[in-house]
Amino acid sequence: MTKIELFTSPTCPFCPGAKKVVGQVMEELNSAKPDSLQLDEYDTFTGSGSAKARECDVTGVPSIFVSGSAIAQKILIEGAPSKEELLQAIEMAEGKRSIERPKGFFEKLFG
C-alpha cells in the first residue's frame, strides 16, 4: 500500500489546491484499485499535527510525503503539486517508475 501524508495549515493560501489534487488522485486511484492508497492528513495548527510536522522536519506547507514498499525513503513534494507530479511520485513509491536523480551543476553544463 502507498501512503500519502499531507501537511496543511488553515492560513495557507496554497493548501486548498494541494488538498484538491490529493483528493482527486485518491478518488481516481482508489476507484480503480480499492484501498491502494492511504491518506494521513495533518493540520499543523493542532498539537498533534505540529508534533508530526516536527518529527518529519516539515518546514512549510503544503508538504506531501509519499511512501511505498518499493523505496526506502519518503518522497517529499513541497508546495501544491500538479496531478501529474503527484501521480509520478506515487508511481516511484510503487516501483513503477525509476527515481530520477537531479543533475548536478557539471552534468547540466556539459551534458
pLDDT one-digit tens code per residue, 31-69: 888 888 999 999 999 999 999 999 999 999 999 999 998
pLDDT value of residue 36: 87
> Residue 74 has which C-alpha cell?
519518503
pLDDT value of residue 107: 72
pLDDT at 99 over 70: no
Q: How many structural domains comprise the chain?
A: 1
Structure confidence at residue 102 as a pLDDT band (50, 70, 90): low
Domain membership of residue 61 as a residue range: 2-110
Burial class (CB in 10 A: 0-12, 13-18, 19+), 89: buried
- Return the CATH number at 17: 3.40.30.10
* DSSP-assigned letters across all residues of 28-93: HHHHHSTT-EEEEEEETTSHHHHHHHHHTT--SSSEEEEE-TT-SS-EEEES---HHHHHHHHHHH
Spatial distance between the Cα atoms of 16 and 62, rounded to a whole number of angstroms: 9
